């Protein structure tokens, strides 16, 4: 079977953009609250993103996305 997806490693800005989208989803889900629950929802969103885009993501991309999400915090 031929892989139809082009695998291109994400750069730092793309990683941060994806994490920002995940966090925005988490915060919007809680009507603007920025707390640990919002980050947990963001982490679930991110896992869905990874699952849906896995053919295009490298192992390093997946690791970077998860580590960045894990280290995210609100100021």
List C-alpha distances in Å: 15 to 1, 8, 12, 73: 29, 13, 5, 16
Per-residue pLDDT of the chain in tens (75 residues, 90 and over written 9): 455 667 779 999 999 999 999 999 999 999 999 999 999 999 999 999 999 999 999 999 999 999 999 999 999
Q: What is the pLDDT of residue 1?
A: 46
Q: What is the widest separation between alpha-carbon atoms in the chain?
A: 47
- State the DSSP code for 65: H
Pick the closest to residue 18 from 32, 75, 52, 55 (CA basis).
52
For the chain, first and last CA: distance in Å?
47
Q: What is the pLDDT of residue 8?
A: 76
The token duo for 25 is: 């989803």
């Amino acid at each position: 079977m031929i892989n139809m997806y082009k695998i291109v490693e994400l750069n730092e800005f793309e990683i941060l953009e994806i994490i920002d989208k995940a966090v925005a989803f988490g915060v919007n889900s809680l009507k603007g609250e920025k707390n640990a629950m919002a980050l947990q929802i963001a982490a679930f969103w991110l896992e869905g993103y990874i699952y849906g885009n896995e053919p295009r993501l490298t192992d390093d991309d997946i690791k970077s996305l998860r580590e960045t999400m894990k280290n995210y915090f609100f100021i």
